[in-house]
Copies of this chain bind each other. A is one copy, B any other.
Amino acid sequence: MSDDPRHAGAASTVPVRQGIVDVDVHPGPASPDEIKQYMSMPWRDRYKGDRRSFYRHPVHGSRQDSVTAGVGPECSDPDLMRRQLLEEHGVAYAVLIMRTFCNIHPDPDYAAAIAAAFNEWLADTWLSKHNTDGAFRGSITIAQQDPAAAAEEIERWAGHPHIVQVTMDSGARAPFGQRYYYPIYEACERNGLPLAIHPGTEGMGINHQPTPGFPTRYIEWHCAMSLAFQAHLISFLTEGVFERFPGLKIVFVEGGVAWLAPLIWRLDSYWKSLRAEVPWVRKPPSEYLRDHLRLGTQPLERPDDDRQLLQVFEMMDAKHLLMFSSDYPHWDFDSPSRAFPKLPTEMRDAIFSDNARSLYELH
Contacts and interface: CB of A to CB of B under 8 A. Distances in A.
Interface of A: 57-59, 170-175, 177-178, 202, 207-220, 222-224, 226-228, 230-232, 234-235, 238-239, 256, 258-259, 261-263, 265-267, 269-271, 273-274, 276-278, 299, 301-303, 308, 311-312, 314-315, 331-332
Given A223-B267, A227-B230, A269-B299, 8 more contacts: A57-B274, A58-B277, A170-B212, A217-B278, A218-B274, A262-B262, A266-B299, A273-B332
A169 to B, nearest CB: 10
Contacts of A276: 58-59
Count identical subunits in the complex: 2
Contacts of A172: 212-213
Nearest to A170: B212
Which residue, A59, A226, A331, has most C-beta atoms of chain B within 10 A?
A226
A175 B274 contact: no
Contacts of A207: 212
5 contacts: A215-B235, A258-B261, A258-B265, A259-B259, A259-B263
A175, A230, A266: residue with the most chain B Cβ atoms closer than 10 Å: A266
A264 to B, nearest CB: 9
Contacts of A230: 224, 227
A132 to B, nearest CB: 37
Given A58-B276, A267-B223, A212 B228 contact: yes
Contacts of A271: 219
